[in-house]
Amino acid sequence: MDALINKIKNEGIVINENILKVDSFLNHQIDANLMEEVAEEFYNYFKNDNITKILTIESSGIAPAVLCGLKFNVPVVFVKKSVPSTITNAYQATVHSYTKNKSYTASVDKRFLNDEDNILFIDDFLANGEAFRGVESIVQQSKANLCAVGILIEKAYQDGHAYIINQGYKFKALASIESMNENQINFIK
């Protein structure tokens, strides 16, 4: 998606070969117009897949996921990274983030996923895919169908990309990074 790739080229800061900083339009300040274009792009790609629910993870997945919710006209659920005292009955999975070198309990209240749901998972980044595996476990527990995966920015050389492809999910990344260093970001065409 050209608009997203151009935004990354203009405003992205490569911290090291594993971390791209995009806090001016995605992870801190949010470009709402760009998020709307992102949702339009995902809608064009997945509109015939009978999606009944959008699923994402807090916090940075929520903005693009909500705009997808508008396009698909379905509810948006986000995985929580802490277990709130108000949740009494939840699907849970332990996620270890290599990026942050810590683990957390991902949870979704059982009221918000069920065996009739056909889910599109949306997230801002795909790296090693640890968060994705937690989501996959939660969806399996709920007996919903994980139909498709939409990622804004993937670093295709990390493990998450191959994992999702090997599992056979319908997959779309709007910006696929092949490699990056302080001077350059190379996108897969």
Residue set of the binding site for 5-phospho-alpha-D-ribose 1-diphosphate: 127-131
Nearer to ligand G4P, 51 or 127 (CB): 127
- Residue labelled with tokens 């949740």: 87
C-alpha 101: how far from chain center: 19
Nearer to ligand G4P, 83 or 116 (CB): 83
Interface with ligand G4P (CB under 6 A), residue from 128, 138, 144, 154: 128
Task: Answer with the entry of Na ion, ligand G4P, none that 128 interacts with (C-beta below 5 to 8 A by kind).
Answer: ligand G4P
Task: Answer with the entry of ligand G4P, Na ion, none that 176 interacts with (C-beta below 5 to 8 A by kind).
Answer: none
Minimum separation from the CB atom of position 35 to Na ion (A): 14
Do residues 82 and 104 make contact, with C-beta atoms less than 8 angstroms apart? Answer: yes
Nearer to ligand G4P, 9 or 21 (CB): 21
Residues 27-56 that bind ligand G4P (CB under 6 A): 27
Q: Can you tell me the distance from the alpha carbon of 140 to that of 114, in angstroms, rounded to the nearest whole number?
A: 10
Question: Per rule CB under 6 A, is residue 130 in the interface with ligand G4P?
Answer: yes
Q: Can you tell me the distance from the alpha carbon of 69 to that of 120, in angstroms, rounded to the nearest whole number?
A: 10
| Amino acid code (one letter) for 13 | I
Nearest Cα neighbor of 155 from 116, 183, 123, 187 is 187
List the structure tokens of 60: 């940075």
Give 70's DSSP letter.
H
Count of CB atoms situated within 10 Å of the CB of 77:
20
Nearer to Na ion, 124 or 154 (CB): 124
Nearest Cα neighbor of 54 from 32, 35, 39 is 39
Minimum separation from the CB atom of position 106 to Na ion (A): 12
Question: Per rule CB under 5 A, is residue 154 in the interface with Na ion?
Answer: no
Site of interaction with ligand G4P (CB under 6 A): 19-22, 27, 57, 59-61, 97-100, 124-131, 155, 160
